[in-house]
C-alpha cells in the first residue's frame, strides 16, 4: 500500500525524492525486503522485535550506543515489567553526586537510558581503529532505504572484487557508500541462541535486528498507523457529507 | 463627530445585538462573509486561498505547542525534537503535522499562485493584491527555511550554512553581513537561537499581511475563470453559504491527502540526513534544500558566478512579483488567450524541470537542462509576455458571467434570491 502511494506522489512531485536516485548510481540500492511494519496496517512482529533486541544486546551494543532509548521503552515491545527491571539491573550506571559529593555506581533502573559502550566519542574511536560506530537510535530513519539498508549492510559483506584497493583495517561491503566500511562483519551463523528456537542465520539476525532498529527509530509507528486509518475513514465520511451539503446548497445556482 | 446613523442589524440574540451596537464585529462578519458578493462561476482552483489560510492557522497552532517542548540550543535541540517524538503525548503527531504542514502549505500556495497566473488574477485592479501575495510567499520561504534549521540535524545545519553564505556574494560587505547573520564566525548556537526567535515571529507578520491581502481582495472581489467583471446581482452569489460549503468540501479532500502523508509516509518529503545530529566537521555528500526551494536552487546553481547566481535567483521572484506590469494583455483569463494558454503550461513544465534539476548534483545534462530552464524562465517573463500582448488575438469574451451559464436569454433571472432566503 505504501509503495503505490509513494509512486503516485512521486509522479506529482518528481523532484522531492530524486536525491536518492543519484546516490544509488554509485552504490546498488538495497534489495527491498518484506517487513511486518510496512503498509498502512503494518505492525511490528513481536517475536522479531524480541529476537532483534537480543541481537542488539549481545552483538551490536558492544560498539553501538542507543542513547535515545530507555530500558522502560522495552515494555512496549512485549517485555514484562520484571523482565525490564532485570535487563536494566544487569548494567552498572554512574549516578551521583551523593550527599558526600561522590559519584557512585549502582545497578540500572528502567528509567535509565541504554548504557553506552563507550564513555565518549574519542574513546569509541580509540577502540575502533579510528572509526566512530554511529548511535543506532535513529539509524533506520537516518539512512536512505531504512530497514532495507540496515539488512543489506549486515548481509552485504563480501571479498573485494579483484583489483579493488582496500585501506588497511577496512572491510568490503557491497551496499556501503564507497564499499569500504570500518565495521568487520558483525554477524555469523549461530552467533546468538534464540530462546524461541528460531535458527540464527546471518539473514535471520539481520532481519530481526533491522526490525528492532525500525521500532527504535519510530516507536509510535503502530499508534500512528491505526490512528491514521481511523482519521482517514472519518475524513472520507466527513468529506462525503460535505459533498452532499454542497450539492444541496448549490442546487438552485446551476 | 457623530457617526453615520447605524443601520440596525436584525440579530435575534439580544446579547449579540447589544455587543454589535457597540462593537460591530458581527455585522462586519456578516458583511464580509454573508453579503460579500462572489462570482458564481468560481471553480475548485479557487479553494486554495482558504486552504492556505487553514494551513497558516494549523502551522501556528501546532508550532506554538511544539515550542512548549522544544529547546533552541545547539547542544539540546536535536534531542528535544526526539523527546517530542518519543515522550510528549501525541508529540509525534504534532511534529509530523507541523513538518509535513510546511510541504502542504507550499503545495497549496503554489497551486494558488499558478491559478492566479492562469486566470490573470494579478491584473488591474488587483495588482496590490498580487504584490501582497508575493510578500506572503517570501515571508513563508524565510519562515520555512528557518524552521527547517531548528531540529539541528545534518541537513538543517548544512542548509543553513549554504543559504546564509549566499549573502557573502554581496560585494564589499558580504562577509560582514554573513558574520552578522550568524552572530559569530560559523553557524552555531547564536544562529539557532535567532532562527528560533524569527521562526516564531514571522508567522504573525504573515497573518498581518494575509489580513491586508483579504482586505485588498474584498475591495473588488474574486477574479473568476472567465476573467470578466461581475455585471450585476445575477452574476454573483453570497460567499456564505455557497463558498463556505464548497471550501469545506475542498478542505475535506485536502485533509485526506494531508492525513495520508502524516500517518502513512511522514518522512516522504524529508531527507534521511536530518535524522543525523548536526556535525560541523562532516559535510553530507549532497546538500539538498526542501523540495519547495528546488526550482530556485536550480537557478542559483545554473550560473557559474556566485553573485550572478544569487541575483538570478532573487530576480526570479522579482519577475513573478512584476508580472502585472509585464503582462499588458487586457484579457485576464487564459481561456480566451490561445497563445498564453500554451506558454502557461510550458512555464509550469519549466518550473518542474528546474525543480528536478535542483534535486540532482550539478553534473552532466542536469547542468545544461538547468541553464536552459533558467533562460526560458526569464524569457517567459521578459520577452514572451510583453510580445503576447502585442501579437496575440484573444478569443471573444462572453458578455457576462451568467451568459455562458444560463445560455444568454436568462440574464437578470433571479438565480440568487430564492436560495438566499433559505440560507
Contacts of A24 in chain B (CB under 8 A): none
Q: Determine whether B87 is an active site residue.
A: no
Q: Determine whether B218 is an active site residue.
A: yes
User: Which DSSP symbol is given to B408?
Assistant: S
Query: How confident is the prediction for chain A on average, in pLDDT?
Result: 90
pTM score of the predicted model: 0.91
Give the pLDDT confidence score for residue A9 in this predicted structure.
41
Cβ <8 Å between B361 and A252 = no
Predicted confidence (pLDDT) per residue in B368-399, tens digit: 999 999 999 999 999 999 999 999 999 999 99
Give the pLDDT confidence score for residue A27 in this predicted structure.
83
**Virtual CA dihedral for B379, B382, B384, B388, nearest 10 degrees?**
180
* CB contact at 8 A, A142 and B272: yes
CA distance A93 to A106: 6
Nearest neighbour of B272 by CB, restricted to A1, A141, A227: A141
B222 pLDDT above the threshold of 70: yes
Cβ <8 Å between A225 and B268 = no
Confidence of residue B3 (pLDDT cuts 50, 70, 90): low
Confidence of residue B409 (pLDDT cuts 50, 70, 90): very low
Give the pLDDT confidence score for residue B252 in this predicted structure.
98
Confidence of residue A240 (pLDDT cuts 50, 70, 90): very high
Contacts of A21 in chain B (CB under 8 A): 360
**Among B100, B138, B111, which Cα is nearest to B47's?**
B111
Q: Is the CB of residue B9 less than 8 Å away from at least one CB of chain A?
A: no
Find the catalytic residue in B21, B218, B306, B360.
Answer: B218
> What is the phi/psi pair of residue A107, to 5°?
-65, 150
What domains are there in chain A, each with its CATH number? 32-220 (1.10.760.10)
Nearest neighbour of B419 by CB, restricted to A219, A235, A252: A252
A11 pLDDT above the threshold of 50: no
Q: Which of B40-44, B203-207, B398-402 has the lowest mean pLDDT?
A: B398-402
A5 pLDDT above the threshold of 60: no
Q: Determine whether B7 is an active site residue.
A: no
B43-82 exposure pattern, b = at least 16 Cβ within 10 A, e = fewer: eebbbbbbbbbbbbebbbebbebbeeebbbebeebbbbbb
User: What does the pLDDT average to over A19-31?
Assistant: 63
Contacts of B263 in chain A (CB under 8 A): 40, 224-225, 227-229, 231-232
* CB contact at 8 A, B110 and A12: no
User: What does the pLDDT average to over B13-36?
Assistant: 91
Predicted confidence (pLDDT) per residue in A175-216, tens digit: 999 999 999 999 999 999 999 999 999 999 999 999 999 999
User: What does the pLDDT average to over B199-214?
Assistant: 98
Contacts of A65 in chain B (CB under 8 A): none
Give the pLDDT confidence score for residue B34 in this predicted structure.
83
Predicted confidence (pLDDT) per residue in B107-158, tens digit: 999 999 999 999 999 999 999 999 999 999 999 999 999 999 999 999 999 9
Contacts of B360 in chain A (CB under 8 A): 18-19, 21-22
Cβ <8 Å between B249 and A9 = no
Find the catalytic residue in B222, B329, B333, B402.
Answer: B222
Find the catalytic residue in B34, B69, B246, B360.
Answer: B246
Nearest residue on chain A to B418, judged by CA atoms? Answer: A252
B410 pLDDT above the threshold of 50: no
Give the pLDDT confidence score for residue B1 in this predicted structure.
44
Q: Determine whether B246 is an active site residue.
A: yes
Find the catalytic residue in B273, B290, B327, B403.
Answer: B290
- Cα B420 to Cα A54, B10, B30, B61: the distances in Å are 69, 16, 14, 34
Give the pLDDT confidence score for residue A12 in this predicted structure.
40
Q: Is the CB of residue B85 less than 8 Å away from at least one CB of chain A?
A: yes
Most confident of A20-34, B16-30, B70-84, B406-420: B70-84
Give the pLDDT confidence score for residue A199 in this predicted structure.
96
| Between A10 and B67, the higher pLDDT residue | B67
Q: Is the CB of residue B349 less than 8 Å away from at least one CB of chain A?
A: no
Give the pLDDT confidence score for residue B9 in this predicted structure.
65
CA distance B296 to B354: 8
CA end-to-end span of chain A: 39
CA distance B300 to B288: 13
**Interface-testing mutation among A246, A247, A248, A254, with chain B (most B C-beta atoms within 10 A):** A246
Cβ <8 Å between B286 and A23 = yes
Give the pLDDT confidence score for residue B182 in this predicted structure.
96
Q: How far does A199 lie from chain B, in Å, by closest CA?
A: 33
Q: What percent of chain B has pLDDT over 90?
A: 86
Please list, in sequence order, all residues whose beta carbon lies within 8 angstroms of the beta carbon of residue A37, skipping any fewer than 6 positions away.
A43, A44, A45, A147, A211, A214, A215, A221, A222
User: What does the pLDDT average to over A143-151?
Assistant: 96
Q: How far does A47 lie from chain B, in Å, by closest CA?
A: 22
Give the pLDDT confidence score for residue B48 in this predicted structure.
98
Cβ <8 Å between B245 and A16 = no
Predicted confidence (pLDDT) per residue in A45-93, tens digit: 999 999 999 999 999 999 999 999 999 999 999 999 999 999 999 999 9
* CB contact at 8 A, B328 and B389: yes
CA distance B99 to B275: 13
Q: What percent of chain A has pLDDT over 90?
A: 86
ipTM of the complex: 0.89
Cβ <8 Å between A19 and B256 = no
Give the pLDDT confidence score for residue B244 in this predicted structure.
94
Q: Is the CB of residue B266 less than 8 Å away from at least one CB of chain A?
A: yes
User: What does the pLDDT average to over B297-314?
Assistant: 95
A2 pLDDT above the threshold of 90: no
Query: How confident is the prediction for chain B on average, in pLDDT?
Result: 92
Q: Determine whether B247 is an active site residue.
A: yes
A242 pLDDT above the threshold of 50: yes
Residue B299 burial class via C-beta count within 10 angstroms: exposed 0-12, middle 13-18, buried 19 and up: buried
Amino acid at each position: 500500500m505504501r509503495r503505490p502511494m509513494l509512486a503516485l506522489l512521486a509522479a506529482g512531485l518528481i523532484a522531492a525524492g530524486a536525491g536518492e536516485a543519484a546516490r544509488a548510481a554509485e552504490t546498488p540500492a538495497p534489495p527491498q525486503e518484506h517487513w511486518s511494519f510496512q503498509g498502512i496496517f503494518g505492525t511490528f512482529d513481536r517475536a522479531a522485535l524480541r529476537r532483534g533486541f537480543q541481537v542488539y544486546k549481545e552483538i551490536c551494543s558492544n560498539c553501538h550506543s542507543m542513547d535515545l532509548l530507555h530500558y522502560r521503552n522495552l515494555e512496549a515491545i512485549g517485555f514484562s515489567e520484571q523482565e525490564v527491571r532485570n535487563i536494566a539491573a544487569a548494567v552498572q550506571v554512574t549516578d551521583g553526586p551523593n550527599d558526600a559529593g561522590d559519584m557512585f555506581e549502582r545497578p540500572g533502573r528502567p528509567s535509565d537510558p541504554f548504557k553506552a559502550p563507550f564513555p565518549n566519542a574519542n574513546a569509541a574511536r580509540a577502540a575502533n581503529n579510528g572509526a566512530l560506530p554511529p548511535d543506532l537510535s535513529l539509524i533506520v530513519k537516518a539512512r536512505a532505504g531504512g530497514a532495507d539498508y540496515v539488512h543489506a549492510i549486515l548481509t552485504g559483506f563480501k571479498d573485494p572484487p579483484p583489483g579493488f584497493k582496500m585501506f588497511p583495517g577496512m572491510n568490503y561491503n557491497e551496499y556501503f557508500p564507497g564499499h569500504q566500511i570500518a565495521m568487520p562483519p558483525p554477524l555469523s551463523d549461530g552467533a546468538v541462541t534464540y530462546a524461541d528456537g528460531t535458527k540464527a542465520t546471518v539473514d535471520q539476525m539481520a532481519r530481526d535486528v533491522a526490525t528492532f532498529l525500525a521500532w527504535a527509530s519510530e516507536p509510535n509507528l503502530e499508534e500512528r498507523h491505526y490512528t491514521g486509518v481511523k482519521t482517514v475513514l472519518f475524513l472520507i465520511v466527513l468529506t462525503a457529507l460535505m459533498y452532499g451539503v454542497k450539492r444541496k446548497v448549490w442546487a438552485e445556482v446551476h | 463627530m457623530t457617526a453615520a446613523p447605524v443601520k440596525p442589524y436584525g440579530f435575534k440574540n439580544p446579547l449579540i445585538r447589544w455587543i454589535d451596537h457597540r462593537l460591530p464585529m458581527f455585522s462586519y462578519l456578516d458583511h464580509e462573509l454573508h453579503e460579500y458578493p462572489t462570482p458564481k462561476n468560481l471553480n475548485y482552483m479557487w479553494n486554495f486561498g482558504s486552504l492556505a489560510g487553514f494551513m497558516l492557522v494549523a502551522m501556528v497552532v501546532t508550532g506554538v505547542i511544539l515550542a512548549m517542548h522544544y529547546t533552541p540550543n545547539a547542544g539540546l535541540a536535536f534531542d528535544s525534537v526526539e523527546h517530542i517524538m518519543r515522550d510528549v503525548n501525541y508529540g509525534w503527531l504534532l511534529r509530523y503535522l507541523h513538518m509535513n504542514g510546511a510541504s502542504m502549505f507550499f503545495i497549496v500556495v503554489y497551486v494558488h499562485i499558478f491559478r492566479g497566473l492562469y486566470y490573470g488574477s494579478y491584473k488591474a485592479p488587483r495588482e496590490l493584491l498580487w504584490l501582497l501575495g508575493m510578500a506572503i510567499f517570501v515571508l513563508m520561504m524565510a519562515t520555512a527555511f528557518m524552521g527547517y534549521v531548528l531540529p539541528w540535524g545534518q541537513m538543517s545545519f548544512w542548509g543553513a550554512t549554504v543559504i546564509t553564505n549566499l549573502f557573502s556574494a554581496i560585494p564589499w560587505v558580504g562577509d560582514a553581513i554573513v558574520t552578522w547573520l550568524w552572530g559569530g564566525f560559523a553557524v552555531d548556537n547564536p544562529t539557532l537561537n535567532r532562527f528560533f526567535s524569527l521562526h516564531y515571529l514571522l508567522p504573525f507578520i504573515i497573518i498581518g499581511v494575509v489580513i491586508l491581502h483579504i482586505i485588498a481582495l474584498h475591495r473588488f472581489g474574486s477574479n473568476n475563470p472567465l476573467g470578466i467583471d461581475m455585471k450585476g446581482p445575477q452574476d454573483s452569489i453570497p460567499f456564505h453559504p455557497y463558498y463556505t460549503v464548497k471550501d469545506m468540501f475542498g478542505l475535506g479532500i485536502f485533509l485526506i491527502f494531508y492525513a495520508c502523508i502524516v500517518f502513512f509516509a511522514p518522512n516522504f518529503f524529508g531527507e534521511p540526513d536530518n535524522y543525523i545530529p548536526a556535525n560541523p566537521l562532516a559535510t553530507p555528500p549532497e546538500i539538498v534544500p526542501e523540495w519547495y526551494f528546488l526550482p530556485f536552487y536550480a537557478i542559483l546553481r545554473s550560473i557559474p558566478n556566485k553573485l550572478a547566481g544569487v541575483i538570478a535567483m532573487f530576480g526570479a521572484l522579482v519577475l513573478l512579483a512584476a508580472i502585472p506590469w509585464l503582462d499588458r494583455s487586457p484579457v485576464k483569463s487564459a481561456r480566451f488567450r490561445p497563445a498564453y494558454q500554451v506558454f502557461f503550461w510550458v512555464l509550469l513544465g519549466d518550473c518542474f524541470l528546474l525543480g528536478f534539476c535542483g534535486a540532482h548534483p550539478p553534473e552532466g545534462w542536469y547542468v545544461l537542462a538547468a541553464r536552459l530552464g533558467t533562460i526560458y524562465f526569464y524569457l517567459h517573463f521578459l520577452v514572451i509576455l510583453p510580445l503576447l500582448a502585442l501579437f496575440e488575438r484573444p478569443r471573444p469574451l462572453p458578455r457576462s458571467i451568467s451568459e455562458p451559464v444560463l445560455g444568454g436569454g436568462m440574464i437578470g433571472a433571479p438565480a440568487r434570491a430564492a436560495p438566499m432566503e433559505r440560507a
